[in-house]
Structure 1
Amino acid sequence: MALRHRIIGKAARVYWRLFRPRTLTVRAIVWNGSGQVLLVRHTYGNLWHLPGGSAKKGESFEVALRRELEEEIDLCELTVERVVGIYHSTGEYKDDHIVIFAVRTRQAVRIADPNEVREIGWFSPDALPPDISPATNRRLGNYRRGEFALEPW
Protein backbone atom coordinates (compact mmCIF):
# COMPACT_ATOMS: atom_id res chain seq x y z
CA MET A 1 0.00 0.00 0.00
CA ALA A 2 2.87 2.39 0.66
CA LEU A 3 3.92 1.82 -2.95
CA ARG A 4 0.54 3.16 -4.09
CA HIS A 5 1.08 6.36 -2.08
CA ARG A 6 4.60 6.76 -3.48
CA ILE A 7 3.28 6.40 -7.04
CA ILE A 8 0.46 8.88 -6.37
CA GLY A 9 3.01 11.29 -4.86
CA LYS A 10 5.25 11.07 -7.93
CA ALA A 11 2.29 11.63 -10.25
CA ALA A 12 1.19 14.61 -8.16
CA ARG A 13 4.65 16.18 -8.41
CA VAL A 14 4.55 15.85 -12.22
CA TYR A 15 1.12 17.52 -12.24
CA TRP A 16 2.36 20.29 -9.90
CA ARG A 17 5.41 20.93 -12.10
CA LEU A 18 3.21 21.31 -15.17
CA PHE A 19 0.30 23.29 -13.71
CA ARG A 20 1.70 24.96 -10.54
CA PRO A 21 -1.60 24.78 -8.61
CA ARG A 22 -2.45 26.76 -5.49
CA THR A 23 -3.07 24.44 -2.56
CA LEU A 24 -4.33 25.04 0.97
CA THR A 25 -2.94 22.81 3.70
CA VAL A 26 -3.52 22.42 7.44
CA ARG A 27 -1.22 20.87 10.02
CA ALA A 28 -1.48 20.49 13.77
CA ILE A 29 0.87 20.74 16.68
CA VAL A 30 -0.96 18.23 18.87
CA TRP A 31 -0.19 18.33 22.61
CA ASN A 32 -1.29 15.75 25.16
CA GLY A 33 -1.89 16.17 28.89
CA SER A 34 1.73 15.22 29.62
CA GLY A 35 3.19 18.08 27.60
CA GLN A 36 4.27 15.88 24.69
CA VAL A 37 3.85 16.67 21.01
CA LEU A 38 2.58 14.14 18.47
CA LEU A 39 4.55 13.53 15.28
CA VAL A 40 3.81 11.20 12.38
CA ARG A 41 5.99 9.37 9.90
CA HIS A 42 4.26 8.84 6.57
CA THR A 43 4.59 5.76 4.40
CA TYR A 44 6.02 7.88 1.58
CA GLY A 45 8.84 9.48 3.58
CA ASN A 46 11.33 8.93 6.36
CA LEU A 47 11.14 12.12 8.44
CA TRP A 48 8.81 12.98 11.32
CA HIS A 49 6.15 15.60 10.53
CA LEU A 50 3.14 17.32 12.02
CA PRO A 51 -0.10 15.53 11.13
CA GLY A 52 -2.41 17.18 8.62
CA GLY A 53 -3.09 17.51 4.93
CA SER A 54 -4.89 19.38 2.18
CA ALA A 55 -8.14 21.26 2.57
CA LYS A 56 -10.81 20.20 0.11
CA LYS A 57 -12.73 22.69 -1.98
CA GLY A 58 -15.48 24.24 0.15
CA GLU A 59 -13.89 23.26 3.49
CA SER A 60 -12.91 25.77 6.14
CA PHE A 61 -9.44 25.36 7.63
CA GLU A 62 -10.90 24.10 10.90
CA VAL A 63 -13.11 21.51 9.17
CA ALA A 64 -10.11 20.36 7.10
CA LEU A 65 -7.97 20.12 10.23
CA ARG A 66 -10.51 18.00 12.08
CA ARG A 67 -11.06 15.74 9.05
CA GLU A 68 -7.33 15.22 8.45
CA LEU A 69 -6.61 14.43 12.11
CA GLU A 70 -9.44 11.91 12.18
CA GLU A 71 -8.33 10.32 8.89
CA GLU A 72 -4.64 10.05 9.85
CA ILE A 73 -4.59 9.41 13.61
CA ASP A 74 -8.23 8.84 14.61
CA LEU A 75 -8.23 12.05 16.67
CA CYS A 76 -11.75 13.39 17.21
CA GLU A 77 -11.64 14.97 20.67
CA LEU A 78 -9.50 18.08 20.50
CA THR A 79 -9.47 21.71 21.51
CA VAL A 80 -8.00 24.25 19.13
CA GLU A 81 -5.68 26.43 21.19
CA ARG A 82 -4.58 28.91 18.53
CA VAL A 83 -3.24 29.44 15.05
CA VAL A 84 0.55 29.29 15.23
CA GLY A 85 1.14 30.72 11.80
CA ILE A 86 0.39 30.88 8.12
CA TYR A 87 3.21 29.83 5.85
CA HIS A 88 3.89 29.87 2.13
CA SER A 89 5.75 27.19 0.23
CA THR A 90 6.67 27.01 -3.42
CA GLY A 91 8.50 23.73 -2.99
CA GLU A 92 7.35 20.76 -5.02
CA TYR A 93 6.30 23.20 -7.78
CA LYS A 94 3.06 24.28 -6.15
CA ASP A 95 1.86 27.47 -4.51
CA ASP A 96 1.02 26.05 -1.08
CA HIS A 97 -0.40 28.01 1.85
CA ILE A 98 -0.10 26.14 5.14
CA VAL A 99 -2.03 26.99 8.31
CA ILE A 100 -0.57 25.53 11.50
CA PHE A 101 -2.88 25.07 14.49
CA ALA A 102 -1.93 24.20 18.05
CA VAL A 103 -4.41 21.73 19.55
CA ARG A 104 -4.72 19.87 22.82
CA THR A 105 -6.17 16.45 23.46
CA ARG A 106 -6.45 13.86 26.19
CA GLN A 107 -7.67 11.22 23.74
CA ALA A 108 -5.51 8.23 22.85
CA VAL A 109 -4.56 8.20 19.19
CA ARG A 110 -3.79 5.41 16.78
CA ILE A 111 -2.86 5.08 13.14
CA ALA A 112 -6.18 5.35 11.33
CA ASP A 113 -4.80 4.96 7.80
CA PRO A 114 -1.81 2.59 7.67
CA ASN A 115 -1.54 3.25 3.94
CA GLU A 116 -0.62 6.87 4.71
CA VAL A 117 0.87 6.85 8.22
CA ARG A 118 3.35 4.17 9.23
CA GLU A 119 4.34 5.43 12.66
CA ILE A 120 3.18 7.88 15.33
CA GLY A 121 4.97 9.02 18.43
CA TRP A 122 4.64 11.35 21.39
CA PHE A 123 7.80 13.34 22.11
CA SER A 124 8.94 15.70 24.80
CA PRO A 125 9.74 19.13 23.27
CA ASP A 126 13.32 18.85 24.57
CA ALA A 127 13.78 15.30 23.22
CA LEU A 128 12.58 15.48 19.63
CA PRO A 129 13.73 12.74 17.25
CA PRO A 130 16.91 13.49 15.28
CA ASP A 131 15.11 12.74 12.01
CA ILE A 132 12.40 15.40 12.43
CA SER A 133 11.77 17.44 9.30
CA PRO A 134 13.51 20.84 9.45
CA ALA A 135 10.24 22.67 8.72
CA THR A 136 8.46 20.80 11.54
CA ASN A 137 11.26 21.75 13.92
CA ARG A 138 10.94 25.42 12.89
CA ARG A 139 7.15 25.39 13.43
CA LEU A 140 7.61 23.92 16.92
CA GLY A 141 10.09 26.74 17.57
CA ASN A 142 7.49 29.31 16.50
CA TYR A 143 5.04 27.74 18.93
CA ARG A 144 7.49 27.59 21.85
CA ARG A 145 8.41 31.26 21.37
CA GLY A 146 4.71 32.21 21.36
CA GLU A 147 5.02 33.68 17.89
CA PHE A 148 2.36 34.12 15.28
CA ALA A 149 4.36 33.60 12.12
CA LEU A 150 3.69 34.81 8.58
CA GLU A 151 6.70 33.53 6.71
CA PRO A 152 8.03 31.17 4.06
CA TRP A 153 7.81 27.50 4.91
Structure 2
Amino acid sequence: MAWHHRLAGRAARLVWFVTRPRTFGVRAVVTDAAGRVALVHHTYLRGWYLPGGGVKKGEGAAAALARELAEEIAIAEFRIDRVLGVYHARREYKDDHVVVYVVSVPEDAEGSMRRADALEIAEARWFAIDDLPEDISPATRRRLDEYRAGAVGGGTW
Protein backbone atom coordinates (compact mmCIF):
# COMPACT_ATOMS: atom_id res chain seq x y z
CA MET A 1 0.00 0.00 0.00
CA ALA A 2 1.18 3.48 -0.76
CA TRP A 3 2.15 5.36 2.42
CA HIS A 4 0.46 8.58 1.30
CA HIS A 5 -2.87 6.77 0.88
CA ARG A 6 -2.56 5.22 4.35
CA LEU A 7 -1.80 8.64 5.83
CA ALA A 8 -4.71 10.25 3.98
CA GLY A 9 -7.00 7.44 5.17
CA ARG A 10 -6.04 8.01 8.79
CA ALA A 11 -6.60 11.76 8.44
CA ALA A 12 -10.00 11.15 6.84
CA ARG A 13 -11.08 8.79 9.63
CA LEU A 14 -10.14 11.46 12.20
CA VAL A 15 -12.28 14.04 10.37
CA TRP A 16 -15.14 11.51 10.12
CA PHE A 17 -14.87 10.77 13.85
CA VAL A 18 -15.43 14.45 14.60
CA THR A 19 -18.00 15.30 11.91
CA ARG A 20 -19.90 11.96 11.53
CA PRO A 21 -20.79 12.69 7.88
CA ARG A 22 -23.55 11.10 5.84
CA THR A 23 -22.09 9.69 2.63
CA PHE A 24 -23.59 8.17 -0.49
CA GLY A 25 -21.81 5.74 -2.76
CA VAL A 26 -22.23 3.30 -5.60
CA ARG A 27 -20.61 -0.04 -6.37
CA ALA A 28 -21.14 -2.51 -9.17
CA VAL A 29 -21.17 -6.22 -9.76
CA VAL A 30 -19.67 -5.92 -13.26
CA THR A 31 -20.16 -9.07 -15.34
CA ASP A 32 -18.87 -10.14 -18.73
CA ALA A 33 -20.34 -12.54 -21.29
CA ALA A 34 -18.54 -15.48 -19.64
CA GLY A 35 -20.18 -14.70 -16.27
CA ARG A 36 -16.99 -13.45 -14.66
CA VAL A 37 -17.01 -10.50 -12.27
CA ALA A 38 -14.60 -7.57 -12.20
CA LEU A 39 -12.87 -6.85 -8.91
CA VAL A 40 -10.34 -4.22 -7.92
CA HIS A 41 -7.49 -4.19 -5.45
CA HIS A 42 -6.92 -0.64 -4.15
CA THR A 43 -3.51 0.79 -3.38
CA TYR A 44 -4.71 1.87 0.06
CA LEU A 45 -6.73 -1.19 1.20
CA ARG A 46 -6.07 -4.89 1.57
CA GLY A 47 -8.22 -7.31 -0.38
CA TRP A 48 -10.45 -7.28 -3.45
CA TYR A 49 -13.54 -5.10 -3.79
CA LEU A 50 -16.35 -4.30 -6.18
CA PRO A 51 -15.50 -1.22 -8.26
CA GLY A 52 -17.24 1.97 -7.25
CA GLY A 53 -16.98 5.02 -5.06
CA GLY A 54 -18.63 8.13 -3.77
CA VAL A 55 -21.40 10.11 -5.39
CA LYS A 56 -20.40 13.74 -5.72
CA LYS A 57 -22.69 16.60 -4.76
CA GLY A 58 -25.10 17.32 -7.61
CA GLU A 59 -24.35 13.97 -9.29
CA GLY A 60 -26.88 11.21 -9.79
CA ALA A 61 -26.13 7.63 -8.76
CA ALA A 62 -26.05 6.29 -12.34
CA ALA A 63 -23.74 9.11 -13.43
CA ALA A 64 -21.45 8.39 -10.47
CA LEU A 65 -21.43 4.72 -11.41
CA ALA A 66 -20.38 5.54 -14.98
CA ARG A 67 -17.64 7.87 -13.73
CA GLU A 68 -16.32 5.36 -11.18
CA LEU A 69 -16.25 2.47 -13.67
CA ALA A 70 -14.33 4.63 -16.14
CA GLU A 71 -11.94 5.90 -13.44
CA GLU A 72 -11.27 2.54 -11.80
CA ILE A 73 -11.53 -0.14 -14.50
CA ALA A 74 -11.62 1.79 -17.80
CA ILE A 75 -15.12 0.55 -18.67
CA ALA A 76 -17.20 3.14 -20.49
CA GLU A 77 -19.68 0.85 -22.21
CA PHE A 78 -22.04 -1.13 -19.99
CA ARG A 79 -25.69 -1.85 -19.34
CA ILE A 80 -27.37 -1.56 -15.94
CA ASP A 81 -29.27 -4.81 -15.51
CA ARG A 82 -30.72 -4.18 -12.05
CA VAL A 83 -30.10 -2.84 -8.60
CA LEU A 84 -28.77 -5.57 -6.33
CA GLY A 85 -29.61 -3.59 -3.21
CA VAL A 86 -29.24 -0.49 -1.09
CA TYR A 87 -27.05 -0.92 1.98
CA HIS A 88 -26.22 1.04 5.11
CA ALA A 89 -22.86 1.08 6.87
CA ARG A 90 -21.70 2.84 10.03
CA ARG A 91 -18.03 1.92 9.72
CA GLU A 92 -15.29 4.50 9.98
CA TYR A 93 -17.64 6.86 11.87
CA LYS A 94 -19.71 7.58 8.75
CA ASP A 95 -23.41 7.18 8.04
CA ASP A 96 -22.84 5.58 4.65
CA HIS A 97 -25.44 4.50 2.10
CA VAL A 98 -24.35 2.39 -0.89
CA VAL A 99 -26.36 1.42 -3.96
CA VAL A 100 -25.01 -1.74 -5.59
CA TYR A 101 -25.84 -2.18 -9.27
CA VAL A 102 -25.51 -5.27 -11.42
CA VAL A 103 -24.08 -4.25 -14.78
CA SER A 104 -22.94 -6.17 -17.84
CA VAL A 105 -20.38 -5.24 -20.45
CA PRO A 106 -20.62 -6.19 -24.11
CA GLU A 107 -18.19 -8.84 -25.38
CA ASP A 108 -16.12 -6.30 -27.30
CA ALA A 109 -15.65 -4.18 -24.16
CA GLU A 110 -14.63 -6.90 -21.69
CA GLY A 111 -11.06 -7.00 -23.06
CA SER A 112 -10.59 -3.32 -22.29
CA MET A 113 -11.13 -3.79 -18.55
CA ARG A 114 -7.96 -2.78 -16.72
CA ARG A 115 -6.87 -0.59 -13.85
CA ALA A 116 -7.39 2.93 -15.06
CA ASP A 117 -5.95 4.95 -12.17
CA ALA A 118 -2.62 3.52 -11.00
CA LEU A 119 -2.61 5.83 -7.96
CA GLU A 120 -5.87 4.36 -6.65
CA ILE A 121 -6.07 0.89 -8.21
CA ALA A 122 -3.21 -1.59 -7.77
CA GLU A 123 -4.88 -4.27 -9.88
CA ALA A 124 -8.16 -4.98 -11.69
CA ARG A 125 -9.07 -8.47 -12.84
CA TRP A 126 -11.90 -10.69 -14.00
CA PHE A 127 -12.72 -13.62 -11.70
CA ALA A 128 -14.97 -16.60 -12.23
CA ILE A 129 -17.84 -16.30 -9.76
CA ASP A 130 -17.01 -19.73 -8.33
CA ASP A 131 -13.27 -19.02 -8.11
CA LEU A 132 -13.00 -15.75 -6.18
CA PRO A 133 -9.75 -14.66 -4.53
CA GLU A 134 -9.14 -15.68 -0.91
CA ASP A 135 -8.56 -12.10 0.24
CA ILE A 136 -11.88 -10.72 -1.00
CA SER A 137 -13.47 -8.24 1.42
CA PRO A 138 -16.26 -9.71 3.57
CA ALA A 139 -18.85 -7.23 2.27
CA THR A 140 -17.87 -7.95 -1.33
CA ARG A 141 -18.26 -11.69 -0.69
CA ARG A 142 -21.73 -11.07 0.81
CA ARG A 143 -22.79 -8.99 -2.20
CA LEU A 144 -21.55 -11.65 -4.63
CA ASP A 145 -23.33 -14.38 -2.66
CA GLU A 146 -26.55 -12.35 -2.96
CA TYR A 147 -25.92 -11.87 -6.67
CA ARG A 148 -25.29 -15.61 -7.18
CA ALA A 149 -28.50 -16.46 -5.30
CA GLY A 150 -30.50 -14.03 -7.47
CA ALA A 151 -31.49 -12.16 -4.31
CA VAL A 152 -32.32 -8.52 -3.93
CA GLY A 153 -30.17 -7.31 -1.08
CA GLY A 154 -30.44 -4.50 1.36
CA GLY A 155 -29.83 -3.71 4.97
CA THR A 156 -26.44 -3.62 6.61
CA TRP A 157 -23.36 -3.43 4.42
TM tier relative to shorter chain: over 0.9
Structure 2 counterparts to residues 39-50 of structure 1, below 5 A: 39-50=39-50
Residue 137 of structure 2 is matched in structure 1 by 133
Residue 101 of structure 2 is matched in structure 1 by 101
Residue 16 of structure 2 is matched in structure 1 by 16
Is the 2:114–2:125 contact (alpha carbons within 8 Å) kept by the matching residues of 1?
no
String of CA shifts for 1:6-59, please: whole Å, max 9, x gaps: 222111111111110000010010001111001100001120000000000011
String of CA shifts for 1:45-86, please: whole Å, max 9, x gaps: 120000000000011100000001111111100001100000
Aligned length: 153
TM-aligned CA deviation for residue 4 of structure 1: 2.4
Q: Secondary structure at the match of 2:145?
A: helix
Residue 55 of structure 2 is matched in structure 1 by 55
Q: What's the TM-score, normalizing by structure 2?
A: 0.94
String of CA shifts for 1:73-117, please: whole Å, max 9, x gaps: 111000011000000000010000000000001312111100000
Residue 124 of structure 2 is matched in structure 1 by 120
Q: What's the TM-score, normalizing by structure 1?
A: 0.96
CA distance in 2, matches of 1:9, 1:116: 12
- Percent of residue pairs identical: 51
CA distance in 2, matches of 1:67, 1:2: 23
